[in-house]
């Protein structure tokens, strides 16, 4: 069974916001949608739960199906100061060349986002 996941891309001047638990493998904020929750709402809720950021704007970008989840990816603008919360222990900002470990799925999603961004 594949989970329905809402995934947030928060693209800032510092880079794309990523978060990690105790193993320091960084993921895009987001999570599994609850039974009657849209994936957009799940992405916004999980962003707030994981980083304490409050979304004020969002735009659907694309879908991505991984082995375990059906992602809907949203570009989200948020306010506040990102701080680890919930199961998250580390917050960072990814830019090309930055030496942090991203999950396989996160790399694919970021590369697709950057390709779309380049086309505009």
pLDDT tier at 1, thresholds 50, 70, 90: low
Question: Residue range 90-102: average pLDDT?
Answer: 95
Question: Residue range 22-36: average pLDDT?
Answer: 94
**CATH code for the domain of 16:** 3.90.79.10
Contacts of 11 (CB under 8 A, 6+ apart): 17, 75, 113
Instruction: Decide if pLDDT at 120 tops 70.
Output: no
Angle at 64 between CA 12 and CA 104, to 5 degrees: 70
Q: How many domains does the chain have?
A: 1
Instruction: Decide if pLDDT at 45 tops 90.
Output: yes
Q: How far apart are the first and last CA of the chain?
A: 35
Q: What are the distances in angstroms from CA 12 to CA 4, 55, 94?
A: 26, 13, 10
User: What is the extent of the structural domain holding 25?
Assistant: 3-119
Instruction: Decide if pLDDT at 51 tops 70.
Output: yes
Q: What is the DSSP letter of 1?
A: -
């Amino acid at each position: 069974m594949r989970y329905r996941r809402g995934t947030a891309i928060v693209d800032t001047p510092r880079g794309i916001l990523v978060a990690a638990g105790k193993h320091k493998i960084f993921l895009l904020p987001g999570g599994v949608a609850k039974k009657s929750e849209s994936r957009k709402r799940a992405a916004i809720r999980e962003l707030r739960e994981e980083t304490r950021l409050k979304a004020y704007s969002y735009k659907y970008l694309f879908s991505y199906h991984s082995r375990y989840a059906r992602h809907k990816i949203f570009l989200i603008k948020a306010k506040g100061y990102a701080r680890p919360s919930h199961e998250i222990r580390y917050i960072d900002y990814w830019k090309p060349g930055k030496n942090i470990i991203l999950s396989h799925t996160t790399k694919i999603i970021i590369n697709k986002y950057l390709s779309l961004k380049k086309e505009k």
